Structure 1
Amino acid sequence: MNQKQFSLAGLGLGLLLLAGCSSQGAITPQSSGLWNHYFVYPISYVITEISSWCGDNYGIGIIVMTLLIRLVLAPLAVYLNDNSVKMRELQPQLKKLREQYGANDREAQQKMTQEMTRLYRENGVHPMMGCLPAVIQMFILMALYNAIVRTKVIAAHSFLWFSLGQVDPLHVLPVLAALATFLQYAAISKASHTGDNPAMQQQMKVMKYVMPVFIFFTAFHLAAAIGLYWVVGNTWMALQALYMERRRQRLAAAAVAAPEI
Structure 2
Amino acid sequence: MEQKNILTALRKYRFIVLIISVLLVTGCSGDYTDIDASTPGFFNEYMVYPFSLLIKWIAEELSGSYGLSIIVITIALRLVILPFMVKQQKQGQETQEMMKIIKPEMDAIQEKYKDKQDSDKQLKMQKELSELYKKYNVNPIKSMAGCFPMLIQMPFLIGFYYAIRRTPEIAEHSFLWFNLGEVNILIALIAVLTYYLQGRVGLIGSNQTNKGPMSLMLYVSPIMIGMMSFVMPAALPLYWTIGGLFMIVQTVITKKYILTT
TM over 0.5: yes
Are 1:14 and 1:139, in contact at CA under 8 Å, matched by a contact in 2?
no
Q: 1:33 maps to which residue?
A: 41
Unmatched tracts of structure 1, length 5 or more: 252-261
Q: Residue type matched to 1:81 in 2?
A: Q
Q: Give, in whole Å, the separation in 2 of the partners of 1:116 and 1:94.
A: 13
Q: 2:65 maps to which residue?
A: 57
Are 1:177 and 1:215, in contact at CA under 8 Å, matched by a contact in 2?
yes
Q: CA deviation at 1:164?
A: 2.1
- Closer/same/farther in 2, CA of residues 223 and 113 from structure 1, 3 Å limit: farther
Q: Residue deviations 1:171-222, cap 9 Å, x none?
A: 111211122112212222114x334xx1x22222221233223322221122
Query: Normalization by structure 1: what TM-score?
Result: 0.78
Q: CA deviation at 1:99?
A: 4.8
Q: How does 1:1-261 map to 2 (within 5 A)?
A: 2=7, 3=10, 10-18=18-26, 19-23=28-32, 25-92=33-100, 93=102, 96-97=105-106, 99-101=108-110, 103=114, 104-110=117-123, 115=129, 119=133, 122-123=137-138, 126-132=142-148, 135=151, 138-168=154-184, 171-191=185-205, 193-195=206-208, 198=209, 200-248=210-258, 251=261
RMSD: 3.1
Q: Residue deviations 1:50-85, cap 9 Å, x none?
A: 111101110000011111011111111211210221
Q: CA deviation at 1:140?
A: 4.1
Aligned residues: 244
**Secondary structure of 1:21's aligned partner:** coil
Q: Give, in whole Å, the separation in 1 of the partners of 2:60 and 2:131.
A: 51
- Closer/same/farther in 2, CA of residues 9 and 67 from structure 1, 3 Å limit: closer
- Closer/same/farther in 2, CA of residues 155 and 250 from structure 1, 3 Å limit: same
Q: Residue type matched to 1:164 in 2?
A: L
Unmatched tracts of structure 2, length 5 or more: 1-5
Q: Give, in whole Å, the separation in 1 of the partners of 2:214 and 2:149.
A: 16
Relative contact order (C-alpha < 8 Å, sep 6+): which is higher? 2
